[in-house]
């Protein structure tokens, strides 16, 4: 049986898969089972931040695997403590970390922290979490409900109570009340169409929430780990959230989710946990990925790569303004608005045929999330393939 046949027989059909099987990769270059070459402008939906098969990450993982992989969080785990230290210091915030396995799990943890914090003082039960329309926070029952997209709420109710959606940042203030436990936002909505929030409005919201002692939760599952130029987008926006969630790129391909919070005394032993979270393997990956990205950032390589990629994207956008209506995003989290959904689908198909991998996002957006280590040669090759795809439309 072919891989496709085995997959269709034994794997639940929850994904609309493309008919390609990748068998090897290096940095931003993929090869499929027919040895066809592709340039990866997706990094596994923002995950392989330091590129596919990164030698330093591979070596660190192999060395750790030869010692110990997992024991449980009932004991001290040196790589986990070191990873927490590296992440906190890279963020510049005075926080502590909880380790899980995914962005959804990180967001679940953030909601639990906000809700327990809301019950610590006074008798009023604070449980409401305000999120934004077009947001995306995960696939668990709770994070699906936290997601401000009506289509995501089909079939899976009844949901946990207490989630309220604001149309815009400006609308959040009118929804605040004595039952508000927290406000959760993405500074750049990924699945919602690579839509950056207005910096001044975010800063005003952060100030208001501090005055009201309501935690601000920033979902940085996609924007974290230098995706936008700084370790967190919160640093770019010059705000100090009480809770930040990370995942995707911070593990470089190994599943990991992290909740960072300045609310250090809210959770106590037994309030939360994760069997696999922060084990030797995933924490070792975090340590190596953060080290690599910090070194590249200090040398100016990340900024140079981002500038070159965005210059190439701007040129591509300018040459195809009959198809694209707007360039959006920050740093290496970019998007092009496409005139209609059908054209977007055709671009994705033709791009793959021509050897370049891309993503779609809400609001008819062609999404670009290349590895942060992508080379100029890979960028050039990718856009050459993309231009060929446009000619084929």
CB burial readout 139-170, b (16+ within 10 A) else e: eeebbbbbbbbeebeeeeeeeeebbbbbeebe
pLDDT at 119: 85
Measured between alpha carbons, how far is residue 251 from residues 107, 110, 283 in Å? 16, 19, 8
Q: Does position 121 have pLDDT exceeding 90, yes or no?
A: no
CB burial readout 222-259, b (16+ within 10 A) else e: bbbbbbbbbbbbbbbbebbbbbbbbbbbbbbbbbbbbb
Are 133 and 171 contacting, i.e. CB atoms less than 8 angstroms apart?
no
The residue-averaged pLDDT of 72-79 equals 98
Q: What φ, ψ does residue 163 adopt, rounded to 5°?
A: -105, 130
pLDDT tens readout for residues 91-115: 999 999 999 999 999 999 999 999 9
Task: Order the strands of the 365-368 sheet from edge to edge.
Answer: 324-330, 333-338, 365-368, 359-361
Beta bridge partners of residue 359, listed in sequence order: 367
**If you ran DSSP here, which 8-state letter would residue 133 be given?**
B
State how far the Cα of 130 lies from the Cα of 254, in Å rounded to an integer.
30
Which residues does 277 contact at the CB level (< 8 Å), separation at least 6? 73, 98, 99, 100, 101, 105, 256, 257
SS3 97: strand
State how far the Cα of 26 lies from the Cα of 19, in Å rounded to an integer.
21
Q: Angle at the Cα of 14 (from 357 to 273), degrees rounded to 5?
A: 100
Q: Does position 203 have pLDDT exceeding 70, yes or no?
A: yes
Residue by residue, DSSP assigns 192-217 as TTSEEPPHHHHHHHHHHHHHHT--EE
Are 293 and 302 contacting, i.e. CB atoms less than 8 angstroms apart?
yes
Strand residue runs (E) in the chain = 22-26, 29-32, 37-40, 96-100, 128-132, 163-166, 180-185, 188-189, 195-196, 216-219, 243-246, 257-261, 324-330, 333-338, 356-357, 359-361, 365-368
User: In which band, very low, low, confident or very high, does the pLDDT at 192 lie, cut at 50, 70 and 90?
Assistant: very high
State how far the Cα of 294 lies from the Cα of 333, in Å rounded to an integer.
18
User: What domains lie within the chain, and their CATH numbers?
Assistant: 3-53+300-392 (3.90.1150.10), 68-298 (3.40.640.10)
pLDDT at 120: 64
Q: Which of 352, 351, 344, 360 is nearest to 387 (CA)?
A: 351
pLDDT tens readout for residues 277-317: 999 999 999 999 999 999 999 999 999 999 999 999 999 99
Sign of CA dihedral 25, 351, 316, 235: negative
The residue-averaged pLDDT of 222-229 equals 98
State how far the Cα of 187 lies from the Cα of 191, in Å rounded to an integer.
12
User: In which band, very low, low, confident or very high, does the pLDDT at 393 lie, cut at 50, 70 and 90?
Assistant: confident
pLDDT at 20: 95
State how far the Cα of 282 lies from the Cα of 268, in Å rounded to an integer.
23
Q: Does position 143 have pLDDT exceeding 80, yes or no?
A: yes
User: In which band, very low, low, confident or very high, does the pLDDT at 125 lie, cut at 50, 70 and 90?
Assistant: confident
Beta bridge partners of residue 356, listed in sequence order: 39
Q: Please state whether the peptide bond connecting residue 158 to the residue before it is cis, i.e. omega within 30 degrees of 0.
A: yes
pLDDT at 238: 98
- How much of the chain, in percent, has pLDDT values that exceed 70? 99
Q: Does position 123 have pLDDT exceeding 80, yes or no?
A: no
The residue-averaged pLDDT of 314-337 equals 97
pLDDT tens readout for residues 2-15: 999 999 999 999 99
State the CB neighbour count (10 A cutoff) for residue 115.
19
């Amino acid at each position: 049986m072919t891989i496709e046949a085995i997959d269709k027989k034994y794997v639940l059909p929850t994904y609309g898969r493309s008919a390609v099987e990748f068998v090897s990769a290096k940095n931003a270059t993929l090869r499929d089972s027919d040895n066809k070459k592709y340039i990866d402008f997706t990094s596994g939906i923002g995950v392989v931040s330091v590129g596919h098969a990164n030698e330093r990450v591979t070596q660190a993982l192999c060395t750790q695997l030869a010692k110990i992989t997992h024991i449980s969080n009932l004991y001290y785990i040196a790589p986990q403590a070191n990873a927490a230290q590296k992440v906190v210091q890279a963020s510049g915030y005075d926080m502590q970390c909880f380790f899980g396995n995914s962005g959804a799990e990180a967001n679940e943890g953030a909601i639990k922290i906000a809700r327990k914090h809301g019950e610590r003082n006074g008798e009023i039960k604070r449980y409401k979490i305000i999120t934004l329309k077009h947001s995306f926070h995960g696939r668990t029952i709770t994070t699906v409900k936290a997601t401000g997209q009506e289509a995501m709420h089909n079939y899976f109710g009844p949901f946990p109570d207490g989630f309220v959606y604001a149309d815009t940042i400006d609308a959040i203030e009118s929804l605040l009340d004595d039952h508000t436990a927290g406000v959760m936002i993405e500074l750049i909505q990924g699945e919602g169409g690579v839509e950056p929030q207005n910096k001044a409005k975010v800063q005003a919201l952060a100030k208001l929430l501090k005055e009201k002692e309501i935690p601000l939760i920033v979902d940085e599952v996609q924007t974290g780990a230098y995706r936008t130029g700084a370790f967190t987008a919160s640093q770019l926006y010059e705000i100090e959230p009480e809770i930040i969630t990370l995942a995707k790129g911070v593990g470089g391909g190994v599943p990991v989710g992290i909740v960072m919070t300045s609310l250090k005394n809210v959770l106590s032993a037994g309030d939360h946990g994760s069997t696999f979270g922060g084990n030797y393997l995933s924490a070792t990956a975090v340590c190596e990925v953060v080290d690599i990205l910090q070194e590249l950032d200090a040398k100016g390589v990340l900024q140079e790569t981002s500038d070159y990629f965005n210059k190439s994207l701007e040129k591509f956008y300018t040459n195809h303004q009959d198809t694209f209506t707007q360039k959006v995003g920050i740093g290496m989290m970019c998007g092009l608005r496409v005139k209609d959904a059908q054209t977007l689908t055709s671009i994705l198909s033709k791009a793959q045929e021509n050897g370049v991998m891309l993503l779609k996002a809400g609001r008819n957006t062609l999404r670009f999330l290349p590895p942060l280590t992508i080379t100029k040669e890979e960028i050039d090759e990718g856009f050459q393939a993309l231009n060929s795809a446009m000619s084929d439309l």
